[in-house]
Amino acid sequence: MMGVRKTEAQLFYEFDLDAHVPTNHVLREIDRFLDMDGMREAIRPFYSHTGRPSIDPELIVRMLVIGYAMGIRSERRLCQDVHLNLAYRWFCRLGLDDKVPDHSTFSRYRHGKFRESDLLRQIFEATVERCLKEDLVSGEGLAVDASLIPADANKTRSIAAKDWGPEVARKAGNRAAREYLETLDDAAFGAASPSQPKFVAKSDPAAQWTRADESRPYFAYATNYLTDTKSSVIMDVEATRAIRQAEVGASQTMLDRTEHRFGIRPDWLAADTAYGSAANLGWLVKQRGIIPFIPVLDKSNRVDGTWSRADFEWDEKNDQYLCPEGHALKQFRRNYSDPNRGKNLTGRRKYRALKSDCEACPSKQRCCPKASARYITREPHEDARDFARSSRKTKAYKVSRDKRKKVEMLFAHLKRILNLTRLGLRGPNGAKDEFLLAAIAQNLRKLAKLRPRCAQMEAPA
């Protein structure tokens, strides 16, 4: 006879929520490393001492961590999943009968006390400190890179850049437009470059109209990662416009902040050609004493078959270049009574060969076929560029090149596993919040993977 299960209503239940969460669940591991001890004291000054008690800010933070760690992009869906999922309830310290906050609560906290107290930055730095404590960071070598994340902006609702200006932004009146006006003097956004994009999104003016590789153009922000090459721990994260100048400036900001906050100054830094400008290499070598394992951004190579600047040997002792035929190219051939005469205020120097040497040279057609004499310009920080070129010839550079790929793997994890393929928040502050939360989630997942509880329990045996 076929049985039928009967469910009888009970007045009282004995239910242990902790017993129903698997011991190897990722949230159990993440919970061990999420440090919320100092969070309440950091945010307490931003609450009134009177009035009705608010929703626990720790609950909001834990729900946000679940959303970014588990790839739940919708806040409405996040609230539904926390309501239904026992592991999520356990992580949020919610009982079976406790009510899950409404999705609108996230917006109120995000635009209010979280930004006023810079709470997300503090939580991110706490995860980095835990990585340091767990010996996941060496500090010897760091890598930096940036990745584009599409913004919540539509091309059909944008206007041409020539029709855009501060007055138009003030008339727009939305929060993203106000943040755009506040960041016009910020090197990461408005002051990153004087050039204007082709289009500006009225819903998010700070987003950059750009195109990556062969894709169609779109509005985007750039998330910048500074990572330790030992275990791919994210040491710092910064949101910028999606242009090279802003990304290079963000790398310097993150290096300074990492040294100030954690006392870590790397021996070397690995990056791609976008960070190989003369100014950035000069800053790394001369001001920070960091070896740049970075390809030099060099536009002096000729493609017409004649000798390029790299074919000439630099003689630092005599302040001159030597051509392949052995002739000297000098900046000055006589001493000036006025020491300021002949100086270039831009720092760019020009070295010229003698006309008589070039006209009698058998290699003139390979050197300067259309000029009477050859000259070479030496850019500012050329000594730092030469140092970067020599660093590329070492074995350590080859090792750093392989380790730099770990940053790209983090970006792939960010988009494919954490599902951050499009921003849900607008404005510079929205981009900062999303990138910080994503970096917090990635560091916590890294800790959970490399320092699991089961390994600690098996260690004594």
Q: Tens of pLDDT along 324-378?
A: 999 999 888 766 555 555 555 567 788 999 999 998 999 999 999 888 899 988 8
- Spatial distance between the Cα atoms of 347 and 343, rounded to a whole number of angstroms: 8
How far lies 92's CA from each of 75, 128, 148, 178, in Å? 15, 22, 32, 34
- Using alpha carbons only, how large is the chain's radius of gyration in Å? 29
Amino acid 49: pLDDT = 80
Residue position matching structure tokens 């070129």: 389
Q: Is the pLDDT of residue 135 over 90?
A: yes
Q: What's the rounded mean pLDDT across residues 265-285?
A: 94
Amino acid 449: pLDDT = 94
Amino acid 224: pLDDT = 97
pLDDT tens-digit readout, 117-126: 899 999 999 9
- Spatial distance between the Cα atoms of 277 and 246, rounded to a whole number of angstroms: 13
Whether 166 and 184 have beta carbons less than 8 Å apart is answered as yes
Is the pLDDT higher at 153 or at 298? 153
**Confidence class of residue 246 from pLDDT cuts 50, 70 and 90?**
very high
* Tokens standing for residue 222: 């750039």
Least confident stretch, 296-300, 323-327, 390-394, 451-455:
451-455
pLDDT tens-digit readout, 10-26: 666 677 888 889 988 99
Q: What's the rounded mean pLDDT across residues 210-231?
A: 89
* Tokens standing for residue 52: 């009705």
Q: What's the rounded mean pLDDT across residues 383-393?
A: 90
Q: Is the pLDDT of residue 45 over 60?
A: yes
Amino acid 338: pLDDT = 58
pTM listed for this prediction:
0.88
Q: What's the rounded mean pLDDT across residues 140-156?
A: 93
Q: Is the pLDDT of residue 317 over 90?
A: no
Whether 312 and 376 have beta carbons less than 8 Å apart is answered as yes
Q: What percent of the chain has pLDDT over 90?
A: 55
Helices (H) and strands (E) in the chain, counts: 18, 13
Amino acid 184: pLDDT = 85
The CA-based angle 41-43-45, given to 5 degrees, is 85
- Spatial distance between the Cα atoms of 107 and 112, rounded to a whole number of angstroms: 8
Q: What's the rounded mean pLDDT across residues 134-151?
A: 95
- Spatial distance between the Cα atoms of 148 and 400, rounded to a whole number of angstroms: 23
Order of all β-strands in the sheet with 328-330: 313-315, 320-322, 328-330, 349-352, 375-378
Ordered DSSP codes for 323-346: -TTS-EEES-SS--SSTTTT--TT
Amino acid 461: pLDDT = 44
Residue position matching structure tokens 């001492």: 49
Q: Is the pLDDT of residue 193 over 70?
A: yes
Least confident stretch, 27-31, 84-88, 456-460:
456-460
Amino acid 343: pLDDT = 59
Secondary element (H or E) of residue 315? strand 313-315
Secondary element (H or E) of residue 251? helix 244-262
Q: What's the rounded mean pLDDT across residues 40-58?
A: 83
Q: What's the rounded mean pLDDT across residues 392-396?
A: 91
Residue position matching structure tokens 């560091």: 443
**Confidence class of residue 276 from pLDDT cuts 50, 70 and 90?**
very high
Least confident stretch, 34-38, 64-68, 94-98, 319-323:
34-38
Q: Is the pLDDT of residue 457 over 60?
A: no
Amino acid 212: pLDDT = 75
